Amino acid sequence: MKVFIAADHAGFESKNRLATELEKIYTIHDMGPYELDPDDDYPIYAKKVSLAVKENPGSMGILICKSGEGMSIAANKINGIRAVTVDSTEEAIETRKDNDSNVLSLSAKELSGRELLDISRAWLNTNFSGEERHKRRIEEISEMERELL
């Protein structure tokens, strides 16, 4: 599975550590930044990862910033992206099973390196349930994107 990963300055170190661990199992594509820039802007990286996920069906994206929230908001501006911010493995599993989330946004401030890894692994290892009610809801979201965005 292809996994696209990026961060802003607040998540830079966390992204590098997480990518090193995940590349033992997954095909990781680091979308930046490649050098720490305290003045970088998270929407740039959210867009890079989200477009890569959209253009590569079956791939997943991971974003890291201070809270995880800004990245998630920016990522969700791309049609077809279902970005989520979670802070536990349980939430990560549920959002994959029920929402077929394809971009995971994480907080560098609130989560330890171990938590980032555990949440990411749980999320990446969980498949969408395919239950009819969840498929219907995802299609309703897709209709909203077509109509409104």
Report in angstroms the alpha-carbon separations of 5 from 14, 66, 88, 93, 148.
11, 15, 19, 19, 28
Active site residue 99: no
Q: Give the active site residue among 62, 65, 78, 108.
A: 65
Numbers of helices and strands, H then E, in the chain: 6, 5
- 62 - beta bridge partners? 5, 104
Closest by CA to 32, choosing from 21, 43, 23, 134, is 43
C-alpha to C-alpha distance for 81 and 93, rounded to whole angstroms: 17
Residues tagged active-site: 65
